[in-house]
Structure 1
């Protein structure tokens, strides 16, 4: 009986111990589960915080991006305005440069022309030539010929019979003190006086008194269609006389330089 009782006690103790162990394991399991849920909650909270932080950073970045974009647009507009202004100033400078270049070229050409004339004037005149005011060379012959022969001589010298254009030139030619042919004739049309270059006589003219008379007072030589500078008899300036082209006279050639 005692053994039976002891056996029952032992079994009962075993059952109680087993139940206690089960309860312990159950508590541990619940505790482990509770710890796992807590970690999950914490992880979720951390992730939510990180997401919020990222959203804040993204918002700030977007604001900065839009702000910088606005600044870039303003700077772009300022640069475009400056570029347009500089382009306009460049075009104005180019126009001024072109004008100055044209003026410079013109001045260069005028200078070259003056230097050429000056160089020509520095040359020694051929024998028998004289220079008048640095613009023309004059040749006074030492023999006499008809008006036509005289002109042929001038043409061979690269010149022509003198054309008188001013008081100063007329007075200069008077200093030669010769009865000499000049380049004036009305041989084509009577009474229409023309210079050897084809231009008509207008002004100035230096006819002696009662001239031209076409040989009215001395008709033995026929018509008087050529003009001589009669400085031997008629001074001072009024010294032109129409004369027969067949008479022999000295002559004056002119070469314009």
Structure 2
């Protein structure tokens, strides 16, 4: 009898068995096959479940990392926006403070400049009055006045002195209106060419006999605070 060996020994060939015995044999073989198939399927199922679980773990880890990155990115963007807003506010406050400080400094500089201008004019006026006082007072102390030139002969006499000298002619009261120290208006004049001119926009309100002694016309308007000789005259 042909057969095969299993764990319990010889197993008869099912084809040589009678129908009842064959049925029992088939049932046995079928049960063993089912158990074997179940055992194989169960192993694959366990492997598949284990693989699926690992895949789920990997996906969960990737999702966690993605969520953390997304949250960190949101927080970073939010923090960056907050920082930028704070910097803008600080910059605006600093700029406003600097503008106010600059405006205050400009006001102070304008005030200082106005005071300096006032003091400069006051000094010039005092100097002019002092110079004026020196020449006029000297003439008055002598019972005379600064020279008044009313004709060519007087002009010729003074020109021949060969000195730069003040004469008693001024337009202090009204610019361009020249008067003598005795309040008489100017009639005969001996202005040098281009004079009077307030040279370089200076306030030239007094008149000197300038150094062009060879010319009959040698009057020049000049600043009253300049230092020059002066000439007095009085009636005899």
Shorter-chain TM-score tier: 0.3 to 0.5
Higher normalized contact order (CA 8 Å, seq sep 6+, divided by chain length): 1
TM-score (norm 1): 0.40
